[in-house]
Amino acid sequence: MTFKLKPFASLACALALSLGAASAAQAADAHAISIKDAWVRWLPNNLPAAGYATLVNASDKPIDLVDVSSDDYGDAMLHQTVSNGSTQKMVMVDKLTVPAHSQVAIAPGGYHVMLGDPKHKIAPGDTVHLTLKFSDGDTVSAPFAVKSPGQTK
């Protein structure tokens, strides 16, 4: 197909390819960070849901998760559950660092993405999308499977 292009077109094409190669290392898996096992624990009565996932950093630099948003929820923010003796509370988290060549679990008992103000009816069995923004400038949108309250992973 390339040989059908006029010479200037194939030159432009080759140039685009070589420019693209510069970012190809970062784009080896499309993103330095990949998102695994993403799910949402749905709660009835319009209670906020909680999003969970494992963030895998394939790069050789630490990368921070710096923002979460969703087209499906008006509110999406990273929280951490912390224990104060016998009580637990949630605190806001500004960023979550995923070490180089490592992974971090956003999992029950630790971190969660608090999801409130659903923009449409959401129920177990649905799929919602969260957009995660990282300190390397990358933005990753991932499907999250909506599960019933009894699910733990």
Tell me the residue number closest to Cu ion, measured at CB: 79
Q: Which amino acid belongs to residue 22?
A: A
Least distance CB 46 / Cu ion (angstroms): 15
Q: Are 31 and 24 in contact (CB under 8 A)?
A: no
Instruction: Give 62 or 108: the residue with its C-beta nearer to Cu ion.
Output: 108
Contact segment (CB under 5 A) with Cu ion among 14-22, 66-74, 83-91, 118-126 equals 83-91
Is 147 near Cu ion (CB under 5 A)? Answer: no
State the number of binding residues for Cu ion (CB under 5 A): 3
Interior CA angle at 65 toward 146 and 101, to 5°?
100
114 touches Cu ion by CB under 5 A:
yes
Give 90's contacts (C-beta < 8 A, 6+ positions apart): 79, 80, 81, 82, 114
Which residue stretch of 11-19, 73-81, 92-100, 127-135 sits at the interface with Cu ion (rule: CB under 5 A)?
73-81
CB of 76 to Cu ion, least distance (A): 11
107 binds Cu ion per the rule CB under 5 A: no
Q: Which amino acid is at 61?
A: K
CA geometry: angle 94, 117, 105, nearest 5 deg: 40
Give the number of other CB atoms < 10 A from CB of residue 49: 24
Task: Return the residue of 79, 111, 130, 146 that touches Cu ion, per CB under 5 A.
Answer: 79
The residue assigned the tokens 């077109």 is: 9
List 90, 105, 107, 122, residue binding Cu ion (CB under 5 A): 90
